[in-house]
């Protein structure tokens, strides 16, 4: 089965800030895939103003993806404020348009708005209707960062998971993965180290909400399973049908520690071949309908 990265970004045109390392180009992403043994990457446009010095358009990213259809899987990114900043906006025609053109998910959802904001709720409801899974980034506060504003204990997310039970939610970011165990406010937006104690919000939500999936991309996803490996192996065993491998490549120099962690976990016998295959491939195929 093909190894699938559930979450990565692509740069097509240089950003207008010369000091930033540019997002990886399609050719650089293919080189990273070949180095890491990844067959396909999901490409998430960044179309909200919070993410980059300039917004990416869906068409520019999709046109680049379409040049390598066997390597890139397209997502569309729709900002909840788009067009008229309305609490009653109808997103269905836009979402349907992108779905018909091959998009498998909506994201990365990085607008710095509250989960209960009516514009966010409208977009989630329409994604549920169209059948597009949503990949979201959670922030710990309003202002000064990107991502949906998460309360401690992932309470806003929990309300959304229960309000839209047919929508598949792919969770990601430090404020999401730090909740694998009890976490202090100071560490909630970071990479808490060491032992994972019982009582975290995230395992409870995975048990209660079958529409929650774990996008393991980025340093936060890798940290959640590697900070306390024995706990991480048990976590991957319990939620083997809901976790998806990912890299969240932005710049070409980004590290890929999850590749090594997953390979070592399999080689050392800490996770089974079946669990490894589900996390590296099967779960992504299932949630995205590939």
Beta bridge partners of 171: 136, 214
Sole window of 89-97, 220-228, 244-252, 264-272 interacting with Zn ion (rule: CB under 5 A) = 244-252
Site residues for Zn ion, window 108-127 (CB under 5 A)? 108
Closest to Zn ion by CB, 53 or 269: 53
Question: What is the smallest separation between the CB atom of 287 and Zn ion, expressed in angstroms?
Answer: 17
Closest to Zn ion by CB, 108 or 126: 108
Dihedral over Cα of 217, 221, 227, 233: its sign: negative
Question: What is the smallest separation between the CB atom of 116 and Zn ion, expressed in angstroms?
Answer: 23
Closest CA to 143 of 183, 105, 113, 122: 113
Question: What is the smallest separation between the CB atom of 133 and Zn ion, expressed in angstroms?
Answer: 15
The 3-class secondary structure across 93-150, one letter per residue, is: HHHHHHHHCCCCCEEEECCCCECCCHHHHHHHHHHHHHCCCEEEEEECCCCCCCCEEC
Closest to Zn ion by CB, 88 or 253: 253
Closest to Zn ion by CB, 178 or 240: 178
Angle among Cα 179, 258, 273 to the nearest 5 degrees reads 100
Taking CB under 5 A as the criterion, the residue among 248, 249, 283, 287 binding Zn ion is: 248
Question: What is the smallest separation between the CB atom of 107 and Zn ion, expressed in angstroms?
Answer: 8
DSSP-based three-state secondary structure for 215: strand
Closest to Zn ion by CB, 7 or 89: 7
Interface with Zn ion (CB under 5 A): 108, 248
């Amino acid at each position: 089965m093909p190894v699938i990265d559930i979450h990565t970004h692509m740069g097509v045109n240089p950003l207008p800030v010369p000091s930033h390392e540019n997002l990886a180009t399609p050719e650089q992403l293919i080189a990273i895939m070949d180095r890491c043994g990844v067959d396909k990457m999901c490409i998430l446009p960044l179309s909200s103003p919070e993410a980059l010095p300039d917004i990416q358009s869906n068409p520019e990213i999709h046109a680049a993806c379409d040049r390598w259809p066997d390597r890139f899987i397209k997502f569309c990114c729709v900002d909840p404020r788009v067009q008229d900043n309305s609490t009653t906006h109808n997103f269905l025609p836009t979402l349907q348009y992108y779905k018909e053109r091959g998009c498998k998910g909506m994201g990365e959802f990085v607008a710095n708005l509250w989960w209960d904001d009516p514009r966010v709720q409208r977009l989630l409801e329409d994604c549920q209707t169209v059948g597009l899974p949503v990949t979201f980034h959670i922030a710990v506060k309003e202002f000064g960062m990107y991502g949906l504003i998460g309360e401690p204990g992932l309470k806003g997310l929990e309300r959304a998971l229960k309000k839209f039970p047919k929508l598949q939610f792919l969770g990601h970011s430090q404020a999401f993965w730090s909740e694998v165990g009890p976490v202090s406010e100071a560490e909630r937006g970071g990479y808490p180290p060491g032992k994972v104690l019982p009582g975290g919000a995230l395992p409870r939500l995975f048990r209660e909400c079958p529409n929650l999936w774990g996008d393991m991309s980025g340093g936060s996803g890798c940290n959640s399973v590697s900070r306390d490996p024995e706990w991480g192996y048990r976590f991957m065993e319990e939620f083997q049908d809901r976790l998806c491998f990912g890299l969240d490549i932005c710049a070409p120099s980004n590290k890929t520690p999850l590749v090594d962690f997953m390979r070592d976990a399999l080689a050392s016998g800490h996770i089974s071949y079946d669990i490894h295959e589900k996390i590296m491939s099967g779960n992504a195929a299932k949630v995205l309908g590939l």
